[in-house]
Structure 1
Amino acid sequence: MQVEPQVTFRGVEAAPHVETKIRERIAKLEEFHDRITACRVTVEAPHRSGQKGEIYKIGIDIQVPGGDIVVNREPGKNHAHEDVLVAIRDAFNAAQRQLEDHVRKIGGIHVKSHPGKAKGAVTDLFRDEAYGFIEGIGDKRYFFRADSVTGDDWSKMEIGSNVHFTEMEGEDGPHATAVTLM
């Protein structure tokens, strides 16, 4: 993530175990989609007179290339959300579903269930069209776009450059994202 995740508490005292659970769930989202650029989470206990218990409202705003994922879990009448951890679970489950839909809409690229940094060498660069190819282990060939290259590494990249990348499967074959020069 390019920006440190922000967790805000409104109308409720900040609790370390709650913030820890939120950061764990953010990390799980990053395993699924490694191009999350920012994430803001708000935990709110709206004031309602005459209400028996506090029903928590969880807001999640995730920025990814090509759009934003926004989840606002309104308290409604779901008394299960009197437990802040249940409210967080439901909100992050909704965020993951939206993130999965977003990934499908932008080209069907899916992160493997065991993402890790692979190694390879750049074999082709098409600077005018802003894409290239990497040869990985076992002569496997990966397509990558210039916007999948971190920082200003695209301008420094040459044929033969050694790189680290995250392996992904797309509709048209293997893709490389989060490409960095070694």
Structure 2
Amino acid sequence: MKPTAPVPLEIHFRHLAYSEALETHIRHQADKLGKFHPSIHNCHVTIEQLHRHHTQGNHFHVRMAVKVPGHELIADRQPDQNHAYTDVYVAIRDAFDAMRRQLEDLVRHQQGHVKQHEERPHGHITEIAPDKTFGRIESVDGRWLYFHRNSLVGEDLDKLQIGTPVYYVEDIGDEGPQASSVHPIGKHHILV
């Protein structure tokens, strides 16, 4: 396997002192992304330290934007009530894992390796949280599935609305059925 070129990378630290160790770690993770897509034009990573109560410790928000030909993919890891990112390395790991999955899905789609099933799971968005971090999908058989904004492939939850039709992969989460790899359906959205 031939080595991949370094991924063009921009790193921004907000409310957090510059850290050479963090930068080295992020560069290493970004270069690994090159194995999952052959043409990454740019990877932009922002790490923000959020100020919380002293008893809860520091929380971190990691946002990634990766540009490839014809697409911009977003992975956004924010602390929430269920999972507070108090370890910056965990937040970075999760953001890169989410981006890797999106790149793999995109490459499979572009190469035509997505299995075509007669009945792919689909439905429409019935709820979007006011803070735009999650939503719910109603399947064609009337079931409701939770999805997180990081499950969206090729689109940002801010740009979608209630009623948007979607394809998805169904998984079982901590609290029951949930949707992952959510693909909005429409003329401006990726179809797989």
TM value normalised by structure 2: 0.52
Residue of 81, 86, 91 corresponding to 1:87 = 91
Aligned pairs for 1:107-118 within 5 A: 107-108=111-112
Q: Distance in 2 between matches of 1:91 and 1:107?
A: 24
Say how many residue pairs are matched.
Answer: 109
- Please say which of residues 56-65 and 43-52 is displaced more in the overlay: 43-52
1:26 corresponding residue in structure 2: 30
Q: Aligned-pair distance for 1:32?
A: 2.0
Instruction: Return the letter of the residue paired with 1:87.
Output: A
Q: Aligned-pair distance for 1:105?
A: 2.0
Q: Distance in 2 between matches of 1:72 and 1:60?
A: 6
Deviation by residue 1:126-174 (Cα, 9 ceiling, x = unmatched): xxxxxxxxxxxxxxxxxxxxxxxxxxxxxxxxxxxxxxxxxxxxxxxxx
Q: What percent identity do the matched residue pairs reach? A: 39
Aligned pairs for 1:56-67 within 5 A: 56-67=60-71
Q: Aligned-pair distance for 1:4?
A: 3.3
Instruction: Return the letter of the residue paired with 1:35.
Output: S
Q: Distance in 1 between matches of 2:55 and 2:68?
A: 37
Q: Distance in 2 between matches of 1:47 and 1:60?
A: 20
Q: Distance in 1 between matches of 2:25 and 2:95?
A: 12
Deviation by residue 1:45-67 (Cα, 9 ceiling, x = unmatched): 12234551111110000000121
Residue of 74, 80, 100 corresponding to 2:78 = 74
When Rg is computed on C-alpha atoms for both structures, the one with the higher figure is 1
Q: Distance in 1 between matches of 2:36 and 2:21?
A: 23
Q: Distance in 2 between matches of 1:24 and 1:3?
A: 10
Residue of 42, 47, 51 corresponding to 2:46 = 42
- Runs of 5+ in structure 2 lacking a partner? 114-192
Residue of 106, 110, 135 corresponding to 1:102 = 106
Native 8 Å contact 2:15 2:50 kept in 1 = yes
Q: Distance in 1 between matches of 2:16 and 2:55?
A: 15
Q: Distance in 2 between matches of 1:3 and 1:90?
A: 19
Q: Distance in 2 between matches of 1:57 and 1:105?
A: 29
2:176 corresponding residue in structure 1: none
Equivalent residue of 2:33, what SS? helix
Q: Distance in 1 between matches of 2:6 and 2:28?
A: 17
Instruction: Return the letter of the residue paired with 2:66.
Output: I
Equivalent residue of 1:82, what SS? coil
Deviation by residue 1:19-56 (Cα, 9 ceiling, x = unmatched): 11100010000122120001100001122345511111
CA root-mean-square deviation: 2.2
Q: Distance in 2 between matches of 1:92 and 1:85?
A: 11
Native 8 Å contact 1:2 1:37 kept in 2 = no
Equivalent residue of 1:41, what SS? strand
- Runs of 5+ in structure 1 lacking a partner? 110-182
Instruction: Return the letter of the residue paired with 1:74.
Output: Q
Instruction: Return the letter of the residue paired with 1:86.
Output: V
